[in-house]
Structure formats: C-alpha cells, structure tokens
Structure 1
C-alpha cells in the first residue's frame, strides 16, 4: 500500500524544468518525491492548492548576503536577515565573511559564527570564507570546514579587520584556491583608479565620477589574467559596469572558468534619477546610468551575466545618514534581500522577460555555481523549498514593514510588482520558529 505523502502542492502555474506549466508537487521528508499532473489523484496528509493568480516558484538562492553577526549585530543579525529572506522568497543564503567581527578568515571565527547562527536562522545558511593577507596559508582549513569558497577585495574593503589583497598575494591566493578546487569570489575595483578628489559631498554625480567604469574594468582584467594563469574558478561579485561584459565573454570563450553576478539595484535604479544627498542609494561599485542598466539587462538575457543576487549590505540608519547626505561619509550598501524578487520581476516583466528567466537568474544559477544542486529548482530529489508568488499584485515599499533590522531602504516608497504570499522550507511553511539549517559545502 502506498504511504501518503506529507504534502501535495497543486499549481496551475509553476516554474519547472525551465518552463512554466501546471503541476502537482509531492513532498515527503522535506524533499520533492514526485511531480504529477495538476489534477492527479495523490494521497497526502496536507494538500495545498494555489489560487489562480499565484505561481509556484522554487525558493531563491542568494549567495551574497552580509549578515554582520557577531560583532556588528546592530547592523544586522541572523534572525532578522533570514526573516527578511523568507519574506522575499529566499530560502537559502550564503553569508559573506565581512562585516562581522571577527571576520570569517579562520576556522575559529567560522565556528563562532555558526554557533551564533545555529538557533536563529529561518532559512538555510551557508558561509563564505575570507582571503586576506595574513591567512593565505590557512585557506585549506577553512575549505575543509565547509565554506563555499573565498571572498577577497582588490581595494580597501571599508573595514580594517578585512584588508585587501595586493597583486602578489592575490595571485598566491588564486593559486591556492585552484589547488583546493574552491571558488574564489572577487570585489573587482582597482583602488589606484578610485579618485576621491572627485567626490562632491551631497552630489551623486561626484560620487559616480569618483568610481569610474575603468576601475571595474582594470580589476576584472586582473582577475581574468590571474585566473587563467592559475587554472582557477573565479567569480566577479556585484558587476555594475556593462562595458566589462565583452572581456568576460572573451575569457570564457578561451576556457577561463569565470562567472559574474549583478544585483537588483543595478537593474532597477539609474544615476540620472538619484537625488543629491540620497545616500540610501550609495553602494560600491556605484549605480550607473540608464543606458548601462539596459545593457546589464541585455547581458543577462544573453547569458553573459550568470546570476542576480542581492548584495544585502545593511547598516544602521545613523551610518547611512552620516554626513547629512554626504556620499563620501555615508556607509555604502543596500539592504534588499526581502525585495530582490519583486524588484527584478518588475524590471523583467517590463522588458518582456518571464518568470522562467527570473528563476534561472535568482534560484538555479546561483545554486549551481556554489554546488547546491538540491536547491533552486522544482524537481524530484530537490529540497521542497517553494514560494507562493502573486506576480501581478503590486506593493509600495514601506520600510517599517521590512524585516531587516534597520528601517532604511533604497526602495522606500517605490511601487513594485509581485508579492510573496508564502514560503516553504523543506515542505514546511516558514513561520516564527527558526527551522533553517547551517550548510556545508559538499553536504546535502
């Protein structure tokens, strides 16, 4: 006799296997065990039927989130960040090795972070390790401890406890990550080409001029060269400059294993409409012009940009307002883990792209790049991480209703399309009780 499934989710619209179709998703033990026709007769303890205006999506995978706990927990913490993620349809995050104190540059620091996170997380959480000048002999230990790869900066990171790598150390680190088979992710801006003399207080055009496109292009050229020489796996984080795409395309055509991400804010905002003093939109690299934004969208559609992740980088309201709107003084970073899906969907639908595209960019591709092949997809054997999404419902962003810790957002007051109505983690609705797991590279 067939045992009843734990859960059956029926959806007239679902993103499955690279297309949108009707389906009934069977779940047992937190895993998708079968995909049936929408109206198939399947015995289950719980049956959920999505409404006609809802689409079933796989849980998103956000591989670029700064949680900041421990050490700067007043900026953000695991409880608040993962509640925000769940509310935005994100069921897996990978935490950056900064801006926590200590940074995740030693096994002891990783253990401390895991201990703090363990009983707080509402979604599944993995961890990046950091590569800094004084830990390059210890990367293997972090790799063995299960980090998903290593993050470095090619210029000042903004926090003194996470120094950047100069070219010789960067090459050495790339060689070590190649030896380990680890993914090496890089904040690619050339510090020698950052011109702080062009900063102009509250003027956004001055901030933009201080971080020119050539700074990204120079650094990306360096990453390509070093990755090619080392035979390494490399990844460029938060690309804002579409002019860098051709060199990335050419490098991949030559066989260099390099991928690239962009972020919702680069796909949503444009420099021409950022008001002077609007430091809630300060991030590094900066938001560039509207024509650049459209080129980023086109590069996504062509597959030259692989994935879209939030770079959720929160801070206190006071740090964002420091200097009374002075772009040189305010902290740079945009808190958006809860809003990435509606932000990207709003832009995608306006340009003729589909939810299939959005799922590829925000769920499947990031999961695949970090080796989480049981995440970011609705298929047999995958974790039953699912999202009930109303793509045509609209919302106006109210910072007081966001779950991240500090009520500041670049999206405040913005009208977005698409509302997450429910998020399941391994077949259970995410609620007030933390049920997330801590993930290790290579483990299911």
Structure 2
C-alpha cells in the first residue's frame, strides 16, 4: 500500500456527501484518498487525528478581500491579511482590485500586486481585475482582455463612487461596453450595485445616529442598481455576480432573473447575517459599511434566501482602514470610512447565528468554501475530495470565543465584532497538508485556469 506524506483522521468531517468519519491521505500537497471511517488502513510519514470535539473542514475560500497593498499598506498588507485568514480557517482568498495604489485595472497594476505579495503569503491568493471608465470604453477594452489572459478571476465594477479617486465608477453605457468585452471571452463581471442617483437624492449621512446613516443608503439604491446589472447581463450574455447583497428587497428581482436563465450569482457577508441596525450603538463607526447593515427582518430574509439557494455564498468583504479613518473619536457615520474588518472571525460569527437558527454546520461551510470556489472559478479548493489541494481546518464548533480586536491578526485593531462572544474556534489550519504558523510564507499566488 502506498505511503502518504500525511494521514488525517477525524470522527467528524464535512465532505460533499455530508458529515461522516473519514481518513484522508495526502501526498505532495494534494488529497489522494478519502476513506470511510477514522481508522481506515492508510499509512503516512505523519498522522494527525482530530480531537473528539473537533470537526475536519475543507479550507474556506474568501473571494472578497481588500488587501490594499501596495499603496495603502498601512490599512492592510498581504502578510497580515493572510495570517488573519489562516486563523479564521480561510486557506484561499481573492484580492479586490482596490484600495491599492495602483489599482488592479491594468497589467502593470497586476504586476505591482504580485510583486508586493511575493514571499509574504500565509495562504493562497488570487486577484480580481477592475473595470473602470479608463478600460471600459470601446477603444480601451483590450486591457480587460490582457488582464484575463494574465489570470485574473474576473472584473469588479462600481456603479456608484467607490470611495477612492483612482477607481472610478461606471455609467450604464460603460457597464454595457465592459460587459460586452468580458462576455466575449466568457469572463465574470462582479458588481458593487448601488445606484448613484438614488444615493444622491437620499438624506446626507452625518452624526452619530446609525439610523441617519442607514437612511442615506436606502434599499432602492441596491434594487435599482441590481436591476441594471440583470438587464445588462440579459442583453450581453455576460456572467454577472452581485457583490455583498445587503437588501432583501432585491431578492424577487434575482429570483426572476434566475428563472429567465440570466447567468447571475449572488453573495452576502457575515455582517449582514449576524448584525442588525437595531443593535448598532450610537457612534459605533466600526459597523459602517456600504451597502449598510439593515434591520432584523431583512436579515431573516437573507438567511432564507441562502437556505433556498437564491444567494450562493458568504464572503467577508474584509475592508479595513487605519483607526483614524474610522473616526472612532467623533463617531460620525457621515465621515468615517465604510468597511468592516471580519476576515478572521467570519466563520465563528456565521456559525454562531446559524446554530441559533438550527442551520447545520454543513450548510455554513458549503456557503463559505465550495460555493465561493465555484462562483469565482477557483480550482482545486473548497472540498475534501481526491485531487483537491489538502487545505484542511480543525474547527471546534462548541468552543466559545470572546473577540478582542487587539488580538486579531489583521493590521489595525478595529472590528465590529470587538467584545462579542462567538461559538466556534479554528484550532489548526493546513495549507496543502502543512500547518500554517505565525511565520508561514508558503502561500502561493494562484491564477484562473
């Protein structure tokens, strides 16, 4: 019988066939065997047995992370972000094309990203490209093709201001031009969908009252923008993906588009599933994000949509900044940077709420591993199956964890989950069969196949 580099045994493991006891054989960083039972006859140079209170999971895939390096490395960098990812059970992330300088909207920008990441990664990292006005004119879309050829996983566009000057938002016409170009090579267009006219007409956010901020980003901003994305996808045939859905008011639009055969996928985020507008304290700008955290009834509908398959996956939208940009001293929701730092705590946060609702861990992990891998097109990730990378996580689903933002590994100690008590702890994370430690730099830069 062939000997393995590593054999992992677990009485509880999450596989595509559900939860069951298994023995996993690993050779040269890949899963070679998945056998029934925790004592199946495999031999290896190393053995790892999950503790009685642990569940073996596939490494999570987070396809929505803002690393910000180069250019805004004081906000977040590859070393700190990938370390936080590993501590949260995330073994693969896909980096957003902003808020770095330069943004990943040109081949030169992609090269700068890869140079910054080289030698700094604790987990595997891929890259999104960006669709901006400069490369979404009919005479300039060759840059999109060039980025696709260089292995980006798709193209992010904003329909309203992004918050940084170097990453402009698309008009309806530019969206169509970009979609036509991306459809020509069957790429993926991922969209921050908020309508700029609705936002401009809404009350201006100011002060410490969260309700005032929420009023400045109404549901209609999302529903109108999502309707535009759907119509654009219908006309051009492009594969389209809605980023960070916060408003359940858009779910009927999404359902109809799916029924009509529009190629549309949708993500939501842990903060929309676990937090609620009613409980955001005055001046707590750590909760500010765009689109915003909405009310409890909206949250319930997002959970239902996930369980019904209308929303595909759950990813972090980890969007950190320095503490001063969050205006923690004034608590002004109008001026604070909008972004939630949740990369490390996404799994326990979602699992805590899922457990309360009677949702099994198998569903949660599917939404956070195999589903984002499928939507983004990340190969060999998100499942414990022969041929996949041996990205494995030992998770204690009953252990309570009190979050202290100062102890989180991302660069700046700001988190909407600071002080929360969550259920579930990631105890060990393995990347291609090797445990990730505080000094690991074995992560690889991955490309679209």
Deviation at 1:255, TM superposition (A): 0.5
Deviation at 1:3, TM superposition (A): 3.3
2:123 matches 1:123: yes
| Partner Cα distance (1:260, 1:225) in 2 | 15
Matches for 1:348-359 after TM superposition, within 5 Å: 348-359=354-365
Deviation at 1:323, TM superposition (A): 6.8
| Partner Cα distance (2:410, 2:399) in 1 | 22
Per-residue CA deviation, residues 178-230 of structure 1 (Å, 9 max, x unaligned), is 11111100000001001453424111110000110011000000000000000
Which residue does 1:166 correspond to in 2?
171
Matches for 1:377-416 after TM superposition, within 5 Å: 377-416=383-422
- Structure 1 unaligned spans of 5+: none
Does the CA contact (< 8 Å) of 2:203 and 2:215 recur in 1? Answer: no
Matches for 1:242-321 after TM superposition, within 5 Å: 242-321=248-327
| Partner Cα distance (1:309, 1:118) in 2 | 24
Deviation at 1:332, TM superposition (A): 0.3
Which residue does 1:374 correspond to in 2?
380
- Structure 2 unaligned spans of 5+: none
| Partner Cα distance (1:362, 1:174) in 2 | 27
Which residue does 1:205 correspond to in 2?
211
Which residue does 1:36 correspond to in 2?
35
Which residue does 1:362 correspond to in 2?
368
Aligned-residue Cα RMSD (Å) equals 0.9
Compared CA separation, residues 351 and 322, structure 1 to 2 (3 A): closer
Q: Secondary structure at the match of 1:11?
A: strand
Which residue does 2:187 correspond to in 1?
182
Does the CA contact (< 8 Å) of 1:18 and 1:356 recur in 2? Answer: no
| Partner Cα distance (2:264, 2:405) in 1 | 36
Which residue does 2:223 correspond to in 1?
217
Which residue does 2:145 correspond to in 1?
140
Tell me how many residue pairs correspond in the alignment.
441
Which residue does 1:417 correspond to in 2?
423
Deviation at 1:40, TM superposition (A): 1.3
Normalization by structure 1: what TM-score? 0.98
Which residue does 2:45 correspond to in 1?
45
Compared CA separation, residues 222 and 70, structure 1 to 2 (3 A): same
Which residue does 2:3 correspond to in 1?
4
Compared CA separation, residues 196 and 317, structure 1 to 2 (3 A): farther
Deviation at 1:333, TM superposition (A): 0.1
Which residue does 2:157 correspond to in 1?
152
Compared CA separation, residues 161 and 198, structure 1 to 2 (3 A): closer
Runs of 4+ that moved beyond 6 A: none
Normalization by structure 2: what TM-score? 0.97
Does the CA contact (< 8 Å) of 1:322 and 1:329 recur in 2? Answer: no
Compared CA separation, residues 7 and 327, structure 1 to 2 (3 A): same
